[in-house]
Structure 1
Amino acid sequence: MRRLPLIVLALVLAAAGAGGRPVLLVLGDSLSAGYGLAPGQGWVDLLGRRLAERGYPHRVVNASVSGETSGGGLERLPALLARHRPAVVVVELGGNDGLRGLGLERTRANLAAVVRRARAAGARVLLVGMRLPPNYGPLYTRRFAALYREIARDEGVPLVPFLLEGVALAPGMMQADGIHPTAAAQPRLLDNVWPHLEPLLR
């Protein structure tokens, strides 16, 4: 019976994660997974380094998957929340929904559910906005961009207006596919996210 307190202590320490450091979870798609980049070049990797350099204790967990949709992220979220118990969740999803022409109401519902579940688990949430190329038609592209603003407003969470601001149309900043940013663009992506993320770390 005397071993029971030690077992309980071990379970508590395990649940606290590495050294009890708060976890910053990035739930995204290929833009956050570092598609087409060498290991360590993506903006999420750069984020981990910036946090360390500026004295933040957070440990970054990159749960981004290339090709992920808002629905896929929603399905994966409960296990990620249970495993990592994040203090902050960055939601960078929806781009693949738009590229596939999926229904906007379904995308909106999925993203709103991700935000709500993460907040219900005690995390602060940052929503990252995306836009579509003009060839998807003006109505669809306008409504797609607007859904991020609407979710952020309705759920009361901060928003990065457009992850690829200053990158999408800049020479040398996009890979040959025209969808994924180059290694040279990654610091700009981090700078687009940082002003909206930093207040959540305090």
Structure 2
Amino acid sequence: MADLPALRIGLSGGIGSGKSTVAALLAQHGAALVDTDAIARQLTLPGGAAIAPIRAAFGDDVIDAAGGLDRERMRALAFADVQARRRLEAILHPLIGIETDRQATQAPSSVKVFDVPLLVESGRWRRRVDRVLIVDCSEATQIERVAERAGWSRDAARAVVAQQATRETRRACADAVIHNDGITLDTLSAHVRDLWGHWCGLS
């Protein structure tokens, strides 16, 4: 494999956009993936570092029988109450930041992809990366994809879409946009391959 440049890519997109698929494709090309959503899930598993402060802030109602975060109940609370969401973010974001930095430092590849669902909304990630890649699709497609997930309804999907940054806002922050709507996986893979070659000087 050709030597890769030192490059930090911020990857984002609305829920259901296919961002995780694009992240996996970039990893296949040799990028080191730092998935902040996966980090958040790990922190909220039984025994995770976020469980004690979440229990202290929200009580036992948001902790499941196994001792982990009841994600469905917490999601409903956070999207219904902006103050609750901010309290949750104040707990999670510093812990996610520490683990993100640790994984990035230890990553074996010089090309690092930071998969950040709320990259645009956070406001701080633009300064931490060299390129921003947005995966985009219509809101109707987002809702359809999310509603197919276990534990999700169309109404829940619509509520999340409504509280995320608009498609226009995300695209305005992007160095590149992949439109993942009405295309095959092969076509999506080709778009990722072309972008990888362009950004890594391999084309």
TM range (shorter): 0.3 to 0.5
| Greater length-normalized contact order (CA 8 Å, ≥ 6 residues apart) | 2
Normalising to structure 2: TM-score of the pair?
A: 0.37
Normalising to structure 1: TM-score of the pair?
A: 0.37
